[in-house]
Amino acid sequence: MEIVTVLAVNAAISAAVFLGLWRYAVAKQDPSFIDSWWGAGMVLIAVTTYLQSQGGDHALVLTLLCAAWGLRLGYHLIRRWRREGADRRYSRMMADAKETKGWSFAKASLIYVFSLQAVLQFIVCLPIQLGQLSAPAALGPLAWAGILVAVVGILFETIGDAQLERFKANPENAGKVLDTGLWRYTRHPNYFGDACAWWGMYLVAADTGLMGALSIVGPILLTFLLTRWSGVPTTEGPMRRKKPDYEAYVARTSGFIPMPPKRGS
């Protein structure tokens, strides 16, 4: 019952925040900023879980790792939204819902954006929730391995985002493809780092026992989202259309897991 209560409290708090953000989006007529809440909202869930847990090393480590990942990502994405304005993906989504279904902005954004993201966020965040609810115990080998993987993932994502931001800030790079730094070894170092961070946090959760191990649905869903739905597919389509050198970049560069570039491509 304790687990059910904690999850219910977390779900209620998350839903209330999403509803508040939805009302703000309706007033702004732009839901793009919600991407920044993807990470920040998970930090909120981690903290609310910690306050309801018995504490212990696993709970503290999971909360700190989630905070390091989520606050950095949230800050990065809110800065991007303020700098670049409305995301064309969301603008097209809202326009299509109005044209094909006759939905208002409020209805389309609530169903397609805010409700969906609330559910996905809660599921992806299961390792942070279930991993904190076991009885306190010392960190085992699996947890230490998870800490290493998560830290590497957070650093990988941070460095990849910084390299891309610096590249895009240079007007001379307009229309060019970033293929140096981490982007030489994978076309999506930010997404790969994201996945590593959450698989690492899952290992920490799994170190607590069966309940933590069952949270594997979280990183599996995240990996699917990144590689098959809202990550790689939505990024690569526009890149192929806008940048003539991108096909050559795709031919020589790994799509996700970092690998040396292919020779002769």
Q: Express each pLDDT in 43-55 by its tens digit.
A: 999 999 999 999 8
pLDDT level of residue 264 (50, 70, 90 thresholds) = low
Crossing angle, helix 141-169 and helix 189-206, to 10 degrees? 160
* Nearest residue to 189 via CA among 217, 164, 167: 164
pLDDT level of residue 173 (50, 70, 90 thresholds) = very high
Model confidence at 30: pLDDT above 90: yes
Model confidence at 116: pLDDT above 70: yes
* Average pLDDT of the segment spanning 3-23: 97
Using one digit for the tens of pLDDT, what is the confidence trace for 145-155? 999 999 999 99
Three-class secondary structure of residue 196 per DSSP: helix
> In Å, how far from its chain's centre is CA 215?
17
Model confidence at 1: pLDDT above 80: no
pLDDT at 99: 94
pTM of the predicted model as reported, rounded to 2 decimal places? 0.94
pLDDT at 242: 85
* Nearest residue to 165 via CA among 69, 41, 75, 39: 75
The whole-chain average pLDDT of the chain stands at 95
Model confidence at 2: pLDDT above 90: no
CA distance linking residue 162 with residue 203, whole number of Å: 27
* Average pLDDT of the segment spanning 61-83: 97
* Nearest residue to 49 via CA among 61, 38, 34: 61
pLDDT level of residue 81 (50, 70, 90 thresholds) = very high
Model confidence at 244: pLDDT above 60: yes
Neighbours of 133 (CB within 10 A): 21
Q: Which range, of 7-16, 231-240, 249-258, averages the lowest pLDDT?
A: 231-240
CA distance linking residue 201 with residue 143, whole number of Å: 8
* Average pLDDT of the segment spanning 57-77: 97
For residue 141, with 0-12 CB atoms within 10 Å meaning exposed, 13-18 middle and 19 or more buried, which class applies? Answer: exposed
User: Which of the pair, 86 or 7, is modelled with greater confidence?
Assistant: 7
For the chain, give the percent of residues with pLDDT over 70. Answer: 99
Model confidence at 198: pLDDT above 60: yes
CA distance linking residue 211 with residue 188, whole number of Å: 32
